[in-house]
Structure 1
Amino acid sequence: MLSGKYKVLYQQLTSEIDTKRIFHDPLHTLAFGTDASFYRLIPKIVIKAKNEEEVSFILKESSKLGIPVTFRAAGTSLSGQAISDSVLVIAGNHWTKFKIDSDGLKISLQPGLTGGKVNSLLARYGRKIGPDPASIDAAMIGGIAANNASGMCCGTAENSYKTIASMRVIFADGTVLDTSDPESKHQFSQTHPQLIQDITEMAASVKDNAELAGRIARKFKMKNTTGYSLNALVDFADPFEIIEHLMIGSEGTLGFIAEISYKTVVEHPFKASSLMVFPDIEKACNAVSLLKSAPVSAVELMDRAGLRSVEDQAGVPNYLKTLSPTASAILVETRALHQDELNQKIKVILDTIKIISSEIPIEFTSIPSEYALLWKIRKGMFPSIGAIRKTGTTVIIEDVAFPVARLAEATLDLHRLFEKWEYREAVIFGHALEGNLHFVFTQDFGSQSEVDRYANFMSDVADLVVSKYDGSLKAEHGTGRNMAPFVEKEWGHEAYQLMKQIKQIFDPQNLLNPGVILNNDPKVHLQNLKPIPAASEKIDKCIECGFCEPTCVSAELTLTPRQRIVVYREMASLARSGHEPHIAASLAKSYQYAGNETCATDGLCATACPVKIDTGKLIKTLRKEEIGEHQNRAVWIADHMSGVTSSVRGALSIVGFFHTVLGTPIMKGISGGLRTLSGNRIPLWNPFMPHGAKKINTSQLQKAKTDKKVVYFPSCINRAMGVSKENRKEKQLSEKMLELLNKGGFEVIYPENLNSLCCGMAFSSKGYTEAGIKNSNELEVALLNASENGKYPVLCDMSPCLFTMKENMKSGLKLYEPVEFILDHLLSNLEITPMQETITVFPVCSMKKMGLENKLVELAEKCATKVVVLETNCCGFAGDRGFSFPELNEHGLRNLKIQLPEGVRYGYSTSRTCEIGLSLHSGISHQSIVYLVDEVSRAKDVVG
Structure 2
Amino acid sequence: MLPDNYLQFKTALSRTILEGQLITNPLLLLAYGTDASFYQLIPKMVVQVHNENEAVTVIKNAHKYHIPVTYRAAGTSLSGQAVTDSVLMVATHHWKNYEIFDNGLKAKFQPGIIGGRANILLAPYGRKIGPDPGSINAAMIGGIAANNASGMCCGTAQNSYNTLADIRLVFYDGTVLDTSDEKSKQNFLVKHPEIIQKIETIRNKIQNNQVLLNRIKRKFKIKNTTGYSLNAFVDYHNPFDIIKHLMIGSEGTLAFISDITYNTVINYKYKACTLMVFETIEKACSAVPFLKESPVAAVELLDRNSIRSIENDEQAPDYFKTLPESSCILLVECQANNVQEMVEKQQKIIVSVAAIPTYKPFEFTSEPKQYAFNWKTRNGLLPSTGALRKTGTTCIIEDVAFPVDRLAEASIALKNLFAELQYQDAVLFGHALEGNLHLVFLQDFSTAKEVQRYATLMDRLTDLVVNQFQGSLKAEHGTGRNMAPFVEKEWGEQAYQIMIEIKQLFDPNNLVNPGVIINKNPKIHLENLKPSPPTHEIIDKCIECGFCESHCVSEGLTLSPRQRIVVGREISRLKKSGKNTERLKLLRQQAEYYSDQTCATDGLCALVCPVKIDTGKYIKAVRRSKISSKNRKRAQYLAKNLDKVTKAGRLGVKSIHFFQTLLGNKTLYSVSKVFRKISGNKIPQWNSAMPTATQTKVETSVLYPENELKVVYFPSCINRTMGKSADYPKTDVDLIVQTEILLKRAGYSIIYPEKINNLCCGMPFSSKGYKRAGLQKEAELEQHLLQASENGKYPVLFDMSPCFYTFMETRQNSNLKIYDPIEFVLDFVLPKLPVKSPRKEITLFPVCSIKKIGLEEKLMEIGKRCAEKVHYIDSNCCGFAGDRGFTHPELNQYGNRHLKEQIPSTCKDAFSTSRTCEIGLSEHSNVNFKSVFYLIDEVTR
TM-score of the alignment, normalized to the shorter chain, above 0.5: yes
How far apart are 1:699 and its partner, in Å? 5.6
Q: Which amino acid aligns with 1:875?
A: C
What do the CA deviations read for 1:108-134 (whole angstroms, capped 9, x no partner)? 111111111111111111111110100
**Does the aligned pair in 2 maintain the 1:35–1:544 contact within 8 Å?**
yes
- What letter is aligned with 1:19? E
Distance 1:840 1:102, change over 3 A: farther
User: Matched residues in 1 for 2:905 and 2:645: separation?
Assistant: 42
Equivalent AA in structure 1 for residue 817 of structure 2: K
Residues 537-571 of structure 1, C-alpha deviations (whole Å, 9 max, x = no match): 11111111111111000000000000001011101
Tell me by how many angstroms 1:701 deviates: 4.1
Q: What is the correspondence of 1:316-335 to structure 2 with a 5 Å cutoff?
A: 316-335=316-335
Amino acid at match of 1:804: T
Q: Return closer, same or farther for 1:353/1:879 CA change in 2, 3 Å cut-off.
A: same
Partner of 1:838: 841
Distance 1:360 1:700 in 2: 60
Moved more, 477-486 or 896-905: 896-905
Taking the aligned partners of 1:785 and 1:149, their CA distance within structure 2 comes to: 58
What's the secondary structure of 2:861's corresponding residue? helix
For residue 198 of structure 2, what is the aligned residue in structure 1? 198
Q: Which moved more, 1:850-859 or 1:95-104?
A: 95-104
The residue type equivalent to 2:741 in the other structure is: E
Q: CA RMSD in A?
A: 1.2
Q: Distance in 2 between matches of 1:141 and 1:456?
A: 35
Matches within 5 A, 1:435-514: 435-514=435-514
Structure 1 residues 339-386: Cα deviation after superposition (integer angstroms, max 9, x where no partner): 111111111111111221111111111112211111012111110010
Deviation, structure 1 residue 706: 4.1
Structure 2, unaligned runs of 5 or more: none
Partner residue in 2 for 1:184:
184
Measured against aligned partners, the alpha-carbon deviations of 1:867-886 in whole angstroms (never above 9, x if no partner) come to 01111111000001100100
Which of 876, 879, 883 aligns to 1:880? It is: 883
Looking at structure 2, the residues matched to 328 and 424 of structure 1 have their Cα atoms a distance apart, in angstroms, of: 17
Are the counterparts in 2 of residues 834 and 865 from structure 1 also a CA contact under 8 Å?
Answer: no
- CA distance in 1 between counterparts of 2:670 and 2:42 reads 43
1:689 alignment counterpart: 690
Cα distance in 1 for residues equivalent to 2:526 and 2:667: 63
Partner of 1:545: 545
Q: Deviations over 1:862-909 (max 9, x none)?
A: 101110111111100000110010000000010111112232212111
Distance, in Å, in 2 between the alignment partners of 1:897 and 1:699 is: 41
One of 752, 755, 762 as aligned partner of 1:753: 755
Secondary structure of the residue aligned to 1:720 is coil
Maintained 8 Å contact 1:712/1:750: yes
- Structure 2 residue aligned with 1:670: 671
How much has 1:751 moved relative to structure 2? 1.3
Match of 2:681 in 1: 680
**Normalising by structure 2, what TM-score?**
0.98
Contact 2:111–2:140 (CA<8 Å) still a contact in 1?
yes
Asked if residue 891 in structure 1 is aligned to residue 894 in structure 2, the reply is yes
After superposition, the Cα gap between the structure-2 partners of 1:699 and 1:437, relative to the gap in structure 1 and judged at 3 Å, is: closer
AA aligned to 1:422 is Q
Partner letter of residue 129 of structure 1? I
Question: Match for residue 865 of structure 2?
Answer: 862
Deviations 1:172-192 (A, max 9, x none): 111111111111111111111
Q: Which residue of 2 aligns with 1:560?
A: 560
Amino acid at match of 2:747: G
What does the per-residue CA deviation read over 1:640-659, in whole Å, with 9 as the maximum and x for residues that have no partner? 11111111112112211221
Conserved in 2, the CA contact under 8 Å of 1:41 and 1:528?
A: yes
**In 2, distance between residues paired with 1:746 and 1:358?**
57
Q: Give the Å deviation of 1:157.
A: 0.5
Structure-to-structure mapping, 1:52-63, within 5 angstroms? 52-63=52-63
1:907 to 901, 906, 910: 910
Q: Tell me, in whole angstroms, the C-alpha distance in 2 between the residues paired with 1:487 and 1:834.
A: 69
Q: Which letter maps to 2:683? A: I
Name the amino acid aligned to 1:792: Y
The residue correspondences of 1:81-120 to structure 2 (distance < 5 A) are: 81-101=81-101, 103-120=103-120
SS at match of 2:358: coil
Q: Is the 8 A contact 1:483 1:517 kept in 2?
A: yes
Partners in 1 of 2:731 and 2:675 — Cα distance?
A: 30
Give the SS at the match of 1:669: helix
What amino acid is the match of 1:659?
Q
Secondary structure at the counterpart of residue 567 of structure 2: helix
Alpha-carbon distance in structure 2 between the residues aligned to 1:133 and 1:149: 6
Contact 1:274 1:362 in 2 (8 A): yes
Tell me, in whole angstroms, the C-alpha distance in 2 between the residues paired with 1:654 and 1:449: 68
Report the alpha carbon displacement of residue 661 of structure 1 after superposing the two structures with TM.
2.8
Write the distance in 2 (CA, Å) between the matches of 1:625 and 1:167.
Answer: 51
Look up the match of 1:941.
Answer: none
**What residue number does 2:570 align with?**
570
Q: Distance in 2 between matches of 1:331 and 1:740?
A: 50
Aligned equivalents of 1:823 and 1:428: distance in 2?
A: 46
Distance 2:130 2:53 in 1: 29
Asked if 1 retains the 8 angstrom alpha-carbon contact of 2:700 and 2:756, the reply is: no
Equivalent residue, structure 1, for 2:656: 655
Correspondent of 1:763 among 737, 761, 765? 765
Q: Within 1, Cα distance between the matches of 2:451 and 2:60? A: 39
SS at match of 1:302: strand
Q: Per-residue CA shift, 1:678-726, capped at 9, x if unaligned?
A: 1211111111111111243436643344442211101111111111112
**For residue 820 of structure 2, what is the aligned residue in structure 1?**
817
Matched, 1:646 2:647: yes
Q: Which residue of 1 aligns with 2:721?
A: 720
Matched residue type, 1:244: K
The one-letter code matched in structure 2 to 1:739 is I
Is the 1:126–1:269 Cα contact (8 Å) retained in structure 2?
yes
Q: Aligned pair in 2 of structure 1 residues 73, 659: CA closer, same or farther (>3 Å)? A: same
- Do 2:701 and 2:753's aligned partners in 1 also have CA atoms closer than 8 Å? no
Distance 2:296 2:200 in 1: 39
Please state whether the residue corresponding to 1:716 is helix, strand or coil.
coil
**Aligned equivalents of 1:309, 1:834: Cα separation in 2:** 52
Deviates more, 1:353-362 or 1:798-807: 353-362
Report the Cα distance in structure 2 between the residues aligned to 1:370 and 1:520, rounded to whole angstroms.
49
Question: Per-residue deviation at 1:423?
Answer: 0.5
Uncovered stretches (5+) of structure 1, i.e. residues with no partner? 939-944
State the AA in 1 paired with 2:788.
A
| Inter-partner Cα distance in structure 2 for 1:665 and 1:74 | 39
Give the drift of 1:197. 1.0
CA contact (8 A) 1:68 1:512 kept: yes
Share of identical aligned residues, percent?
55
| Distance in 2 between residues matched to 1:747 and 1:219, nearest whole Å | 75
State the distance in 2 between where 1:102 and 1:476 align. 29
Aligned AA for 1:575?
K
Matched residue, 1:917: 920
CA distance in 1, matches of 2:580, 2:662: 57
Residue type matched to 1:106 in 2? K
- Which stretch of the first structure deviates more once superposed, 1-10 or 513-522? 1-10
Contact 1:253 1:513 in 2 (8 A): yes
Q: Distance in 2 between matches of 1:801 and 1:330?
A: 43
- Length, aligned pairs only: 938
Q: What residue identity is the alignment partner of 2:915?
A: R
Q: Is the 8 A contact 1:558 1:598 kept in 2?
A: yes
1:835: Cα distance to partner?
2.6
SS at match of 2:309: helix
Once residues 224 and 917 of structure 2 are traced to their aligned partners in structure 1, the CA distance between those partners, rounded to angstroms, is 48
2:802 alignment counterpart: 800
8 Å contact from structure 1 (residues 837, 904) kept in 2: no
8 Å CA contact 2:711–2:750 kept in 1: the answer is yes
Letter in 2 for 1:690: P
Distance in 2 between residues matched to 1:470 and 1:515, nearest whole Å: 26
Instruction: Indicate the larger mover: 522-531 or 100-109.
Output: 100-109
User: 1:305 — aligned with what?
Assistant: 305
One-letter amino acid of the structure 2 residue matched with residue 169 of structure 1: L
Check the 8 A contact 2:700/2:753 in 1, yes or no. Answer: no
1:379-417 alpha-carbon deviations (Å, 9 max, x no partner)? 111100100100000000000001111111110010110
Partner of 1:241: 241
